[in-house]
Chain A
Amino acid sequence: MAEYIVADTAVVSYLTNVSTECTAYQKLMGESRLAVSFQTRAELLSFPDRYGPARRQRLDDLLNVILLLPHSEATNVCYARVVERRRELRKLQQPGADASDADAWIISGALEHKLFLVSHDAQQVCLGRAMGLRVLTNLDGLREGNPSSLG
């Protein structure tokens, strides 16, 4: 089986070569394959259709080769743990306290399947790490906490 890594929505878009983050995230991902939460798929599909059907087809082409982590009861169980941890971080006023529900669902999918997460969202990175998830990022001040290897 190929190794998979869960990519946050912004990271999927940063893989375009017009992004200044493209090289950094490709390097972080190595030879891993991409998986995304159902949340990321929904966010990508919610992008306005102003560029026409051809562009939409190219988005579908990309999504068709990225593994989708579907919503399951296990995702809900993980989500309940993540939002409880977020509540604790809020009490303590710690980083990750302001993570959104969307962040929580993405973290939950990675926890459910015990996969690494790659993210460019500081709150998501901090909440994920507070959950014991192995999170890779190219964000200043957080990349120092990247796990040393993907294996």
Chain B
Amino acid sequence: MVDVEPGRQRLRVKLADGRDITMEADDELVARMGSALDRVVEIEMEEEYEGDTIARRVARAMAVLPSSGPGSDVPPKSIEELESEQHMPAKRPDYASLASAVWESEKELAEFQAHLQEIRKGSAG
């Protein structure tokens, strides 16, 4: 894609749901883009709003996603591999005890549920 504005580079990506979006990218990211061509990537992006409209999107970071091949639905790592890589404990953890130390009261749990509802609202498809 050609951009005629000097010093300004843009990145166009196809999303998993088929949409295309365009965003600006800084020099550091531009230098790495060649390695991501035609591969599936995860991009950290900032959106600037003017009122309710997105005025500008800027790509901040990019990582090539692990893959078993283009368009493959086979996970690149099995559950056994993930388990070993993430050093899961040999004995089944006491999840209830650990969760109880995070949400100590009904009020805290209700606050978290409200927070979750709020952020899910923002991701309504």
Contacts and interface: CB of A to CB of B under 8 A. Distances in A.
Interface stretch (B4-12, B53-61, B109-117): B109-117
B98 interface: yes
B83 A73 contact: no
Contact of B17 (A79, A99, A103): A79
A52 to B, nearest CB: 12
Main secondary structure on chain B at its contact with chain A?
A: loop
B98 A74 contact: no
Contact of B96 (A26, A58, A69, A78): A26
A10 interface: yes
Give the most central of A14, A65, A73, A75: most B CB within 10 Å.
A73
Contact of B112 (A4, A47, A61, A62): A47
Given A18-B106, A74-B68, A112-B75, A13 B18 contact: no
A72 B67 contact: yes
A102 B120 CA distance: 7
Given A9-B116, A69-B82, A80-B16, A2 B92 contact: yes
Nearest to A108: B16
Interface residues of B, number: 50
Interface in A94-151: 98-104, 112-113, 115
Given A67-B86, A99-B125, A72 B76 contact: yes
Interface of A: 1-2, 4, 9-10, 12-19, 22, 26, 31, 33-35, 43, 46-48, 51, 55, 58-59, 61-62, 65-80, 83, 86, 98-104, 112-113, 115
Given A14-B99, A80-B18, 13 more contacts: A1-B79, A13-B113, A14-B109, A16-B104, A17-B96, A17-B100, A19-B109, A62-B99, A65-B89, A67-B86, A98-B124, A101-B124, A102-B119
